[in-house]
Amino acid sequence: MADTDGKNGGAPESKTPAGNGRRSTLAALLEDSKAIRQRAIEEIKALKQPQKTVLWKSMFRVKHDETARSRALGVLTNVFLHLHPAKINRDAVRYSYTWGMGGISFYLYIVLVFTGVLLMFYYHPTKVVAFRDILYLEHDVPFGKLLRNMHRWAAHLMVITVELHMFRVFLTGSYKPPRQFNWVVGVILLVLTLLLSFTGYLLPDDQLGFWAVTVGTNMARATPLLGHDGPFGPQLGMTPFNDVRFGLLGGSIVDANALLRAYIWHCVALPIIASTFMIVHFWRVRKDGGISGPAPVMLESEIKEPRKL
């Protein structure tokens, strides 16, 4: 800038007759401002292609164009997208194959974490206060009711989508080698999804949750060996005050301790465990060679001899 200034400032000086210093300074200033305006326009025009800016390049590193290389790198160099391969089976993007249920389950999980964290800002896991917090959320917190509804319905929906996902995986035989272990991880995720949903049920501390959890944990007292009402429980010294049910509830009845325990399982422990298993699940999908199909059909005559032990 300084260099340009010098030239522009110097040039009029030599052309205009001496003695008219004031006018020439003014003209120089005008010239200057015109040049600055020109530059500004050019720079703003350049913003129409934000991909070319230093800021953009520093964030995404990869060129934004339609070459195969950039498309692949755009996925591979992004931490959120790198769970995907760069390219996939051309038929695997059809909705008819996966029904999108695994992805939708994961999206619902994200929605649940997001709305759940917002709910935590308003919720205290203590008797009496908990119920009032729900009333407060429903009636006073801006969009509180919407927040609570979304958390509830997303949870129900997730149970449905996870079950349908399992159904799809079964129907396509996707648990067959080499994906056996990922099916096992999936079953664990199904159990965790149900447990997350169930532990959340008690948190409003209303009649619905209270009796559902009472019914649910009453079954725990009948656990064989470990419950005081279960087969061989009493023989092993189980009482209402030392069996599994006591451990789950933090007491012999559903009360303040049970509420706190449900809260910690629901908001801390289970989400961490479920997230961990999801990471493993997705990692394994990639390591097992990506989505199983749609694969070319195999014929009975092509079955290979079973491997011998």
Site for another protein in 225-284 (CB under 8 A): 227, 229-232, 235, 253-254
Give me the residue label for tokens 């009402």: 229
Name all contacts of 50-58 with Cβ < 8 Å and 24+ positions apart.
none
Region from 27-35, 50-58, 191-199, 261-269 binding another protein, contact rule CB under 8 A: 191-199
Q: How far apart are CA 119 and CA 140, in angstroms?
A: 13
Give which of another protein, ligand HEM, none residue 165 binds (C-beta under 5 to 8 Å, depending on kind). ligand HEM
Q: What is the 3-state secondary structure (H, E, C) of 102-123?
A: HHHHHHHHHHHHHHHHHHHCCC
CB-nearer residue toward another protein: 267 or 291 = 291
Q: Does 133 bind another protein (CB under 8 A)?
A: no
Distance in Å, CB of 47 to another protein, minimum? 24
**What character string, x for contact with another protein (CB under 8 A) and - otherwise, covers 5-44?**
----------------------------------------
Q: How far apart are CA 138 and CA 174, in angstroms?
A: 44
Non-local CB neighbours of 150 within 8 Å, separated by 6+ positions: 111, 115
Non-local CB neighbours of 278 within 8 Å, separated by 6+ positions: 106, 109, 189
Distance in Å, CB of 234 to another protein, minimum? 9
Region from 12-20, 51-59, 147-155, 272-280 binding another protein, contact rule CB under 8 A: 147-155
Give which of another protein, ligand HEM, none residue 105 binds (C-beta under 5 to 8 Å, depending on kind). ligand HEM
Distance in Å, CB of 112 to ligand HEM, minimum? 10
Give which of ligand HEM, another protein, none residue 12 binds (C-beta under 5 to 8 Å, depending on kind). none
Q: Does 155 bind ligand HEM (CB under 6 A)?
A: no
Q: Does 271 bind ligand HEM (CB under 6 A)?
A: no
| Number of neighbouring beta carbons within 10 Å of residue 34 | 11
Q: How far apart are CA 169 and CA 284, in angstroms?
A: 14
Give which of ligand HEM, another protein, none residue 285 binds (C-beta under 5 to 8 Å, depending on kind). ligand HEM
- Shortest-Cβ-distance residue relative to ligand HEM: 186
Nearest C-alpha neighbor of 163 from the set 114, 113, 112, 99: 99
Q: What is the dihedral of CA 15, 16, 17, 22, to 10 degrees?
A: -140
From candidates 39, 94, 124, 287, binder to another protein by CB under 8 A: 94
Helix axes 101-120, 270-287, angle to 10 degrees: 160
